[in-house]
Amino acid sequence: MNIQRFQRYSQPELSRAFDRLATLREETDSLFNTPFSPFFRTSGSFSTWSPAVDVHEDKDQFTVIAEVPGMKKEALNLTLQNGVLTISGEREREEKKPDQGFRSERFVGRFQRSITLPASVDPSGVKANYQDGLLKVVLPKSEEAKPKQIEVSVS
Partner 1 sequence: MSTAQQEDLQQKEQQLSTESRPQSAQSRRFATPLVDIESTEDGYVLYAEMPGVSKDGIEVTVENGDLLIVGHRRPLEVSGEPIYRESRLYDFRRVYELDPSIDTSRVSARIENGLLIVNLPKAEKVKPRRIEVE
- Nearest approach, Cβ of residue 104 and partner 1 (Å): 5
| Residues 84 to 103 in contact with partner 1, rule: CB under 8 A | 93-95, 97, 100-103
Does the protein bind partner 1 through residue 34 (CB under 8 A)?
no
Q: Which is nearer to partner 1, 80 or 134 (CB)?
A: 134
Spatial distance between the Cα atoms of 76 and 64, rounded to a whole number of angstroms: 14
Task: Mark 132-151 as b/e (b = at least 16 C-beta within 10 Å).
Answer: eeebbbbbbbeeebeeeeee
15, 18, 23, 36: residue in contact with partner 1 (rule CB under 8 A): 36
- Nearest approach, Cβ of residue 115 and partner 1 (Å): 8
Q: Which is nearer to partner 1, 27 or 99 (CB)?
A: 99
How far, CA to CA in Å, does 7 sit from each of 4, 11, 63? 9, 11, 55
How would DSSP label each residue in 57-85? E-SSEEEEEEE-TT--GGGEEEEEETTEE
Spatial distance between the Cα atoms of 31 and 122, rounded to a whole number of angstroms: 32
Does the protein bind partner 1 through residue 69 (CB under 8 A)?
yes
Does the protein bind partner 1 through residue 121 (CB under 8 A)?
no
Spatial distance between the Cα atoms of 111 and 104, rounded to a whole number of angstroms: 18
Q: Which is nearer to partner 1, 94 or 151 (CB)?
A: 94
**Residues binding partner 1 (CB under 8 A):** 36, 39-40, 52-59, 61-63, 65, 67-72, 93-95, 97, 100-107, 118, 130-134, 136
